[in-house]
Structures are given as structure tokens and as C-alpha cells.
Amino acid sequence: MPDDVETIAQRHRPHPSPAPPRHRLLALLGPAFVAAVAYVDPGNVAANVTAGARYGYLLVWVLVLANAMAVLIQYQSAKLGIVTGRSLPQALRPRMRPASRIAFFLQAELVAIATDLAEVIGGAIALHLLFGLPLLAGGCIVGVVSIGLLLIQERRSQRTFEGIVVGLLVIITIGFVGGLFVSPPDWGQTAAGLIPRLRGADSLLVAASMLGATVMPHAIYLHSSLVRDHHDEIGEGRAHRDAAGAKGSRTGRLIHATRVDVVWALAVAGCVNIALLLLAASALAGVEGTDTIEGAHAAITESLGSGVGIVFAVGLLASGLASTSVGAYAGSEIMQGLLDVRVPIIVQRVITLIPALVIIALGSEPTWALVVSQVVLSFGIPFAIVPLMRLTGSEQVMGRWRDGVLLRWVSRVVAAVIIVLNIALLWLTLSGQG
């Protein structure tokens, strides 16, 4: 293990520090909101609307459970970045042989491409719904706009990029929650939906797709680097802490801020996902054709009016733009961390964009492409969460900031549940039972 990693984790054994002042805490927030965009991408939109339209309020508990798992995993990723000063890919690089490192990179890059597929298609569908553009033209526009967003991150500052992504997250929230004011849910049935239960094998498939595909591998890889870069930019990074000679107390404050950041960001993402399910349950229950995003939009427009349909499509467009930009950012960080190769982020954007545009150009059915992307993501999830939990549970890596006994056991249960559900999702999908 490199000396600097051991030194970072073990040099000091500090006592817990008080929470930072409120104004300082606000400056530390932001990275989790960027990562949270992965939880409200077009794939999530399709899954949640389908769940609500088919089963009403039955599967509300799945989203609550999925969000709790996401909070835990994103917190661990961020904590790793704070304590070690390294992203998850960087922390893994010295622990792998060259051949293993390349193989790991290839699967992570495949996951990034699959992620981009769903997000570009989602944005293209939104442009088609709003302006009648062909899907290929819409996909190209989404790609160009995302390149612009990434240039802002690369040439301006990460905090500017974070501000834009948070702004898009606000639009997503308005777009997907707004319909509830027109068609309020049945709150009694919503509460009943918190009780875990299923209704046949098909509901298991939908639940597996909702829960098993909620945790996005690229968000896990990225969050650890987001906090590192964010804190470096505002003068709270690793070099500043070491120079100040107060690494322990500063680390405690940063970890506290990260808890707040993750909880608030994932709470917003969770509310958006639950709102989508509730909207479908209240307005689209039993309606045919809601298994596709276009069908769901048509049903929403017919049931709630064109205004709500437009707001929904705008939210979908913001979702596609924000999530595809964050996905390309993650791909760049994965390459740098695992291979120690720094390529311009625009090159990474093109690498992941081209396969999505090719699939659209070939005339593939968008919903089928989304299903394929979720299957690929299912393969990649264990490769992200298992190493993360091993690292954050290691005293050698994390020092006194390692996960406690209870957190380590909870993490193992969460990892097992996610992996089992993704295996079930793969089996049910490939066997044609979905």
C-alpha cells in the first residue's frame, strides 16, 4: 500500500470535532446533489411510472428502502474521498495487478456507456415530446449541450458546474412533482404502501428493477472524487488540512457536512422518485401503454392536461441533460483513477456518446434500449459496492474513521440484498419473464 495512504489514515487519532458553523456548512454542501442526479435519470422515471401504473401504491416501500441504501453507499464513497484524499478508483489502483486493473476499467467503462445510453435516449425522447424532433437529432442535441456543461466544469470551476446541476435538479423536481398538485395521491393508500409486500412474480420483477438498479455504479465511483475536488477548491482539501496541522478536527467537520449533504440530496432524489410512482398510481392506474416513457407522457397529458404533460417532459429533458453530463464526468474520473491516464473530459464524453447515438440511429426501440442498459448496470454494481465497503471498513485505510461494527454489518446486508436483487433482475429479464 502506498505510504501516503497509510499516513493519511493513521498519522493522527483525533477526537470527534463539533459541527461546523452553519455558513461554513453551506459552503461544504454540493457534491452529493451532483451524485443524486444519477437517482433521477430517465431509467428511474420509466421504472417508477410503470410501478405506479401497474400496481398503484403497492411498491412505495421499495423506493423508501432503495433510498435508504443509497444514502449509506453514497456516504461511504464520500467518506473515503475525505479521509484518504483519493477517489475510489484511485484507492483501488495500487491494490490491483495491471491485468486486473485493465479488466476492472473495461467493465467500469462499459457501465459508463450503458448509463449514457439510458440518459441520452431519455433526453432525446423529451425533445421529441416537446418539439417533435427525431430521436437521433434529439440525441445529438443532448450530447452537444452536455459537452457545454462539461466545458464549464473543466474551464470554470467545479462549484459552477455543481450550481448548474443543482439548478437542473430543481427543474427535475418541479417537472416530476408538479403533477401531484393536479392529481393528489391517496395518502392512506400511500401509507399502506410502506408495508413490504408483493403481488405475483411480475411485481417481483418490477420491484427488482426499481431497487436493484437504483444504486448507480458511476455515482459510487464519482462521489469520492467530487468531495475531494470540492473541498480542495474551497480551501478545505487534503493539502490544506495537512499544512494546517489539524487534520483530525477538519476531517470530522467534513464528514459531518457530508452526512448532511448526502441525506438532503438523497431525500430530494427519493421524493422525486416517490412522486413519480404516486402520480402514476393516482392518475394512471390500470391505463394501458404506460410501460414506455412516451406512453406514460401521453397518458399523463390525456388524464391531467397538456400543461402537466409539458412540465413532465421538461423535467425529463432536465433529467437527461444533468445525468448524462454527470455520467461522462464519472467516466473521466474512472479512467484517470484506475489507469492514471488523464484524457480531456470532452474525449470521454464522445467515447460514451457515440454508442448511444449509434443505437438510436439503428432504430432500436427506446424502451428495449433502456432495459438493456439496466441489465449492463446490474453486472457492474457488485464491482463498485464490494470494494467500497471493504475499503471503508479497513482500519489500515481509514484509521479511526473506519466504519463501525454496526455499519459494517449493515453494509454487508445492503450489498447482499442489492447483488441478489440484481441477479434476480438479470434472470427474470433474460428468461423473458418480465
Q: To the nearest 5 percent, what fractions of the chain are helix, strand and coil?
A: 80, 0, 20
Average pLDDT over residues 195-201: 86
236 pLDDT band, cuts 50/70/90, is low
pLDDT for position 215: 77
User: Does any domain span residue 208?
Assistant: yes
Residue 69 has pLDDT above 60, yes or no: yes
Residue 388 has pLDDT above 90, yes or no: yes
User: Does any domain span residue 2?
Assistant: no
User: Does any domain span residue 229?
Assistant: yes
244 pLDDT band, cuts 50/70/90, is very low
As a whole-number percent, the residues of the chain with pLDDT over 90 amount to: 45
pLDDT for position 175: 93
30 pLDDT band, cuts 50/70/90, is confident
User: Does any domain span residue 141?
Assistant: yes
Long-range contacts, 395-398 (Cβ 8 Å, 24+): 395/9, 396/1, 396/6, 396/9, 396/10, 397/1, 397/5, 397/9, 397/80, 397/83, 397/84, 397/91, 398/9, 398/79, 398/80, 398/83, 398/84
Q: For 13-22, 114-123, 205-214, which range has the lowest pLDDT when averaged over its residues?
A: 13-22
What's the grid cell of residue 338?
484506475
Residue 16 has pLDDT above 50, yes or no: no
Average pLDDT over residues 65-94: 94
Q: Is the Cβ–Cβ distance between 295 and 289 less than 8 Å? A: yes
User: Does any domain span residue 242?
Assistant: no
pLDDT for position 433: 56
Specify the 3-state DSSP secondary structure of 24. helix
User: Does any domain span residue 351?
Assistant: yes
pLDDT, tens digit, for every residue of 260-315? 999 999 999 999 999 999 999 998 887 877 778 888 899 899 989 999 999 999 99
Domain count, the chain: 1
Q: Is the Cβ–Cβ distance between 113 and 354 less than 8 Å? A: no
pLDDT for position 38: 87
Distance, in Å, from the CA atom of 425 to the CA atom of 94, rounded to the nearest integer, reads 33
Distance, in Å, from the CA atom of 334 to the CA atom of 47, rounded to the nearest integer, reads 27
Q: Which of 129, 176, 200 is nearest to 278 (CA)?
A: 176
What is the span of the domain harbouring residue 156?
A: 24-234+249-431
241 pLDDT band, cuts 50/70/90, is very low
Between 30 and 88, residue with greater pLDDT: 88
If you ran DSSP here, which 8-state letter would residue 14 be given?
Answer: P
The whole-model pTM stands at 0.86
pLDDT, tens digit, for every residue of 139-162? 999 999 999 988 887 776 777 888
User: Does any domain span residue 11?
Assistant: no
User: Does any domain span residue 5?
Assistant: no
Which range has highest mean pLDDT (141-145, 152-156, 338-342, 414-418)? Answer: 141-145
The CATH number given to whatever domain includes residue 309 is 1.20.1740.10
